[in-house]
Structure 1
Amino acid sequence: MKKIIFSFIICTLLSCQENRPHGSQYDLPSLTENNYLMGYLNENRSSYKVSFYDINIDFDLENKSIDGFVTIKAKSLSDLDKLQVDLAENLNILKITYKNEELVYARDYDAVLIDFPSKILKDKIFEFTIFYEGIPQSADNPPWAGGFTWSNDKNGNDWVAVSCEGEGARIWWPNKDHITAEGDSVRMVYTVPSNLVAVGNGKLRKVSSNDGKSTYEWFVNNPINNYNISVQIGNYVAVQDTFIKNDQIHIMEHYVLDYNKELASNYFPQSKEIIRFYEKFFGDYQWYNDGYKLVEVPYLGMEHQSAVTYGNGFSIYNGVRSESWPMYGVIDPLIIHETGHEWFGNSVTASDPTHIWIHEGLQVYSEAIYFEDKFNSYEFGVHYLNSLKNRIVNKIPIVGNENENHWALHGDTYMKGAWVMHTLRSVINDDEMWFKILNEFMVENAKGFANTKDFFNKVEEKTETDYWYFAEQYFYSPNQPELEYYQTDSNFYFRWNNVNENFIMPLDLLVNGTEKRVVPVKNYQSFPISKHSQIEVMDWKFYVNPVEKK
């Protein structure tokens, strides 16, 4: 199909290099034409809101190909006669139909611009269907470089799963592929060889078999990020458990490979403790009517809503993720991290992927709170955060530009994001208020969208203090504040380096074992001390770099 011609100005701004939208920990990704098309809600995307996706896919495992159709039900937000949906350009569109008529369409990279035969008036409900086929992208390093993982289990059976955060759901089914474009509900119909089981999000409605194939129908009753919609295919068996809340029994039906049923039955109950922790601090689990399950997969795992995928080897100490995350022998690092995303990311979703610290930074920070709560020890949480500190590189900002499909999934988003939250708690210096801020932010934005400004608006509302200077330094600049200091026999001198002009953050020192709060600026200040005083910068509470002037 023809390419849509960009204006000269837009073309000069965009790189011709096609790459994944993640970037790295050391540089921002190029703004390609495709990322612009995916990241920006232009008039052909903002003119309608999806209410329902009906996904139907037949999987050919031998050829690693798919053949399917997706019906999109939507509401027009303005008069329209064309709109954009998104599908990876390597997948072939067979036809697009509307009221039993084939529609004309054009393709530009992953964007599909559809023309309707007559104008659809504002506030009308309409639906159209896209028929397609092809070989979807394979995962290079799932889940960070995602796609389909085609593998085999220990018995030689096919074992397949998809992960596509950042790449987008368009790599395997057509949709309005923007982080805010959630359907209100989704039906997933997956057809696989009859010796295998297909697991999707939500609850299983029915299974039918015909001609050596089985079709599994799954349904999600809630809004769901498109990248969270998933399929897992394998020789699965169900592992049933129950979760009791307010005298109501909720069924938890996990799915694992047949030979791991006993192991999972003994290992997965820890997920109930995790859910109770998150409900205690961050509000109710939002998806009870869709259930909660863990699904064993041939990669590390991901936060697929109501179908959290798991591949950490059923070991707290010796799993893949266990080697790099200290869990103190009490919880599986993968289960707590991905289950926590049912709050951070799945319930409260970043309004643009450049604000994805709301998913990842808050999630890692919540794990520190888990240990603090578990052991009733602030020091345990600090120890957890300190164990992650050396992974921070401070090369690019945590938050970049909006509307560029920039999925800021680099390491600082996780580790530095957690440390920034820990630092803000120390700055506010009122734990009761701090935990109310976190709880209210999560509860008030549940099943919704938020960005960095929204979070700091909540902070200002509760503290009656404007901390935007803090956000500008820690989220929009890569620079770690540096406290330069020296002391004489009678005075301690200190000042900020490597900070914005408006940076006015207070900082705590230990002066001969007594805490003292100071407010450094870019010029030297001082306070009197006795000779040979011991002074420590409390960098276990604040993400700052103490540098002694020699």
Structure 2
Amino acid sequence: MVKFFPYFLFFIGLQVSAQQFTRKDSLRGGFSLERISYDVQRYDLNITIDPEKKSIVGYNDITFKILNTASQIQVDLFENMKIDSIVFEGKQLNYKREFGAVFISFEKPLTVDGLNKKIRFYYSGNPLIANYPPWDGGFVFKSDSQGKPWIGVAVQGTGASLWYPVKDSQHDEPDLGATIKVAVPNGLMNVSNGRFIGSEDLKNGYTRWDWEVKNPINNYDITINVADYAHLHDTHNGLDLDYYILRENEEKAKQHFEEVKPMLDCFESKFGKYPFAEDGYKLVETSYLGMEHQSAVAYGNKYRKGYMGSDISGTGIGMLFDYITIHESGHEWFGNSITSKDIADMWIHEGFTTYSESVFVECLYGYEKAMEYINGQKNRISNKAPIIGTYGVNDKGSNDMYYKGALLLNTLRHIVNDDPKWWQILLKYSETYRHKIIDTETVIAFFNAETNRNLSPIFEQYLKYKSIPELDIEIGKKEVKFRWHTDVTNFSMPVVLLVNDTEIRLEATNDWQSYKIKKTKEAVKFDSNRFLIKVNYN
């Protein structure tokens, strides 16, 4: 997700995170028995969108398997949306609602038999409209320059259940994919995830556009994009590239999206093959800035370099590429392919994806430019709250998950201090957890094993505490004394001492250590560009 939040929204976020969590939060973010008793196999959405009424009507077929005997399951749908009926094996089911949770009861308990079961969930209503998309979740009803409807949706964090019935948790994705069938007024097109499988004139002033996803997909990634789109098609190394843009921008897009090819070459060399080749790669023009919708990435940066025409790193390097294309496409590997079980671990999405920006810079412009770019992002770190949120209550934690998360990875790279090994580790990480749902402990265990080093205290300091490690320094005439000041005990991490431009690699701990020197204090300093640290010279 895009992250350069307007300042007033940032402070609102801080206030919300400080409040007590409620039953509503637990229902939204928790792992109730009614949720974990079944495993979603696929979603099959079939809806009609009325642009004038800003309404949705239709149903979602939810196919699932029972994991534990259950007489009741939890599906989620925002309270403002109407439930028309829920049907199972030809009979309407009883249900009760509590906030956004819908508890569906079966006449007889469903047992573990390995067979697919399916409910059809009919619903209707006016979905929540976003005020500041994509920073707050909801539908976006706009018009293009010709006055034609231009509709989109972005719901990460707020919840996919604001517009369709779904198990609204990142821990369960539809194993067999999904179909998204959306009817819109004639003259408009809907673009969703996956492959276009056909359209049908419904003879009532509406045409239905059908899309199919072959891969598992995050519920917040499922999307609709309605407009009078032009379509550009290309291929790269056997991968289908499709661009859906407003007709007025067709020529502009042809040139601008050429950046996609070197990006794919870079990311595939570092992170492995594009994870969703069966579903293709798409950029879809939206009226809002962007979102990582799997195989249908939302693009709204108006064909500019940088982030809305500016450089978030403050170095000028960010103006060499279109931030939205690179960042949101990086999510195809980190967030869409590798997904965090709980939103509290969203740094697994955002930290790695933000790091992918500097990886792209390094692929095209070299190591020094990449280091300049990623260090330029340090001024975006607040250190006001831990990166990891509270588990089980839909709490995504601090926005430091982006830049601080990326700089943690840059720190790990320089702890490893062996670039071929680092890129091998990162590639293995991407391939090991391809299309998997994981948590922070899994990430830590992987990097511990691959580096043959106990990195747990380092991960803990950066992720679970608001402060970064501080290196206390005392420089004398003939020695340098140093130690780490951290919240974590038994903290150990290397540092690089520069004595008249000579590099000396030292292993610092929480205990004072010393290193003998012969030079004057003015010639001595510690490198803070390869590590995210604060250096205190006493």
Same fold (TM over 0.5): yes
Write the mapping of 1:383-398 to structure 2, written as runs, cut at 5 A.
383-398=372-387
Write the mapping of 1:40-51 to structure 2, written as runs, cut at 5 A.
40-51=30-41
Larger CA deviation: 122-131 vs 230-239:
122-131
Question: What is the match of residue 380 of structure 1?
Answer: 369
Alignment counterpart, residue 56 of structure 2, candidates 55, 66, 81: 66
Question: What is the match of residue 204 of structure 1?
Answer: 196
Q: 1:461 to 1:255 in 2, by over 3 A?
A: same
Q: 1:281 to 1:388 in 2, by over 3 A?
A: same
Question: What is the match of residue 427 of structure 1?
Answer: 415
Does residue 191 (structure 1) correspond to residue 183 (structure 2)? The answer is: yes
- Determine the C-alpha separation between the residues in 1 that align with 2:373 and 2:483: 29
3-state SS in 1 of match to 2:270: helix
Alignment counterpart, residue 527 of structure 1, candidates 515, 521, 530: 515
Question: What is the match of residue 310 of structure 1?
Answer: 299
- On the 8 A contact 1:27/1:396 being kept in 2, the answer is no
Question: What is the match of residue 229 of structure 1?
Answer: 222
Question: What is the match of residue 76 of structure 2?
Answer: 86
Alignment counterpart, residue 321 of structure 2, candidates 331, 347, 354: 331
Question: What is the match of residue 125 of structure 1?
Answer: 116
> How far off is 1:303 after superposition?
0.6
Q: 1:321 to 1:29 in 2, by over 3 A?
A: farther
- Determine the C-alpha separation between the residues in 1 that align with 2:108 and 2:509: 63
> How far off is 1:350 after superposition?
1.0
- Determine the C-alpha separation between the residues in 2 that align with 1:27 and 1:45: 25
> How far off is 1:489 after superposition?
1.7
Alignment counterpart, residue 444 of structure 2, candidates 433, 448, 456: 456
| Aligned-partner residue type, residue 131 of structure 1 | Y
- Determine the C-alpha separation between the residues in 2 that align with 1:31 and 1:41: 15
> How far off is 1:27 after superposition?
4.5
Write the mapping of 1:191-340 to structure 2, written as runs, cut at 5 A.
191-209=183-201, 210-243=203-236, 245=237, 249-316=238-305, 320=308, 322-325=310-313, 326-327=316-317, 329-340=319-330
| Aligned-partner residue type, residue 215 of structure 2 | N
Question: What is the match of residue 14 of structure 1?
Answer: none
Q: 1:490 to 1:327 in 2, by over 3 A?
A: closer
Q: 1:302 to 1:164 in 2, by over 3 A?
A: same
> How far off is 1:250 after superposition?
3.4
Q: Which runs of 5+ in 1 are unaligned?
A: 1-18
> How far off is 1:126 after superposition?
0.9
- On the 8 A contact 2:499/2:519 being kept in 1, the answer is no
- Determine the C-alpha separation between the residues in 1 that align with 2:240 and 2:449: 39
Larger CA deviation: 459-468 vs 326-335:
326-335
| Aligned-partner residue type, residue 252 of structure 1 | L
- On the 8 A contact 2:46/2:58 being kept in 1, the answer is yes
Question: What is the match of residue 466 of structure 2?
Answer: 478
3-state SS in 1 of match to 2:220: helix
Does residue 405 (structure 1) correspond to residue 394 (structure 2)? The answer is: yes
Question: What is the match of residue 364 of structure 1?
Answer: 354
- Determine the C-alpha separation between the residues in 2 that align with 1:496 and 1:475: 17
Residue deviations 1:261-313 (CA, integer Å, cap 9, x gap): 11111211211221111110001112111111100000001110000010001
> How far off is 1:411 after superposition?
2.8
Does residue 440 (structure 1) correspond to residue 428 (structure 2)? The answer is: yes
- On the 8 A contact 1:88/1:170 being kept in 2, the answer is yes
- On the 8 A contact 1:189/1:216 being kept in 2, the answer is yes
Does residue 146 (structure 1) correspond to residue 137 (structure 2)? The answer is: yes
Question: What is the match of residue 539 of structure 1?
Answer: 528
> How far off is 1:97 after superposition?
0.9
- On the 8 A contact 1:88/1:109 being kept in 2, the answer is yes
- On the 8 A contact 1:391/1:411 being kept in 2, the answer is no
- On the 8 A contact 1:391/1:415 being kept in 2, the answer is yes
Aligned residues: 523
> How far off is 1:522 after superposition?
3.3
- Determine the C-alpha separation between the residues in 2 that align with 1:532 and 1:106: 75
Does residue 111 (structure 1) correspond to residue 101 (structure 2)? The answer is: yes
TM-score, L = length of structure 2: 0.94
Question: What is the match of residue 5 of structure 2?
Answer: none
Q: Which runs of 5+ in 2 are unaligned?
A: 1-8
- Determine the C-alpha separation between the residues in 1 that align with 2:482 and 2:408: 22
3-state SS in 1 of match to 2:473: strand
- On the 8 A contact 1:203/1:218 being kept in 2, the answer is yes
Q: 1:28 to 1:357 in 2, by over 3 A?
A: farther
- Determine the C-alpha separation between the residues in 1 that align with 2:452 and 2:184: 57
> How far off is 1:503 after superposition?
0.9
> How far off is 1:353 after superposition?
1.4
Q: 1:470 to 1:196 in 2, by over 3 A?
A: same
- On the 8 A contact 1:241/1:269 being kept in 2, the answer is no
3-state SS in 1 of match to 2:329: helix
Q: 1:436 to 1:157 in 2, by over 3 A?
A: same
- Determine the C-alpha separation between the residues in 2 that align with 1:49 and 1:505: 42
| Aligned-partner residue type, residue 117 of structure 1 | E
3-state SS in 2 of match to 1:338: helix
- On the 8 A contact 2:311/2:318 being kept in 1, the answer is no
| Aligned-partner residue type, residue 85 of structure 2 | K
Question: What is the match of residue 175 of structure 1?
Answer: 166
